[in-house]
Amino acid sequence: MEVNNKYIRFDWAVKRMLRDKANFAVLEGLITVLTGEVVKIVELLESEGNQETSTDKFNRVDIKAKNSKGEIIIVEVQLTRQLYFLQRMLYGVSKAITEHIEIGQMYDNVKKVYSINILYFDLGKGSDYLYHGQTVFTGVHTNDHLVVNTKEAEELRMRLPHDIFPEYYIIRVNEFNSVATTPIEEWLDYLKNNRIKDDTSTPGLVEARKKLLYMTMSDKERRAYDAHMDDIMVQNDVLETAKREGRAEGRAEGRAEGEQVKAVAIARNLKSMGISVADIKMATGLSDEDIMNI
């Protein structure tokens, strides 16, 4: 299979390459651009099994990592539509929190979690390609933000709830249609089009230009990658076909419903004129029962 893009798709890189400590800088760059803080990954944690073949959840790849602050970062790439994706996001974060605190530990051991979700399907309404969600407690009457006491390094400090509660990022890749001028736009251009500027200085993409080159893959890796791309093409074709068939079926049902409404209206008029049921049936195609119920 011919691959025109010179860079490997991010979903494949997450699954096969970015789990290598030597390639952490690519993932660190994406998280840095999203959060606005320089991120250093110290280790990858156990995440959901990342299967090796297209039949084993090839549309789902996850990374769970710990940064230098001890915070947990979940990165998930989703290629196909899932109706309950928000619930899955919540479950993934909740699971990460509970997995990293043991019974009997103080609650100050609860880890801050960042959930980064890269979606290649239409999640719903929304005109932006990037959404950020965090927990903020706002006064119902005063509209001020609650600040809470917390103990850090044996000192009592004040913190905002969003410093403690999870944060969520949703990247809607297919909604990106801009010229890449900012770091996040450059990342979106790579995620959607596999393009990276030759002179980029964007964190993560500088490293990606060196580490995610298609031509540097071994023959075995290239064959596996090509098979993955074939799977995606087949999957997209199946989804598009289903969409078209659904639209066609919807139009046909709409026409049928419209004809039914029209027939009922005609039958009602004929019935009010005293026309016999048999004649109305012949004129409209409605059943005896339909006509009697009008």
pLDDT at 248 over 80: no
The percentage of the chain sitting over the pLDDT mark of 70, rounded to a whole number, equals 86
Assign 123 to helix, strand or coil: coil
Least confident range of 168-177, 243-252, 258-267: 243-252
Fill in the DSSP letter of residue 85: H
At residue 115, the pLDDT reads 96
What pLDDT band is residue 47 in, cutting at 50, 70 and 90?
Answer: low
CA atoms within 13 A on the CB side of 271: 16
126 sits in the region (left: phi over 0; alpha: psi -120 to 50; else beta) called: left
**Helix pair angle (183-193, 24-35), 10° resolution:** 130
Alpha helix positions (H), the chain: 10-16, 24-35, 85-99, 183-193, 205-211, 219-272, 277-284, 288-292
pLDDT single digits (tens) 140-153: 999 999 999 887 66
pLDDT at 52 over 60: no
pLDDT single digits (tens) 194-241: 999 999 999 999 999 999 988 788 888 888 888 877 777 776 666 667
pLDDT at 128 over 90: yes
DSSP letters spanning 14-66: HHHTTTSGGGHHHHHHHHHHHHSS---EEEEEP-S---SSTTTTTTEEEEEEE
For residue 57, give every residue at least 6 positions away whose Cβ sits within 8 Å of its Cβ, in sequence order, or none. Answer: 49, 51
pLDDT, average across residues 118-133: 93
What pLDDT band is residue 2 in, cutting at 50, 70 and 90?
Answer: very low
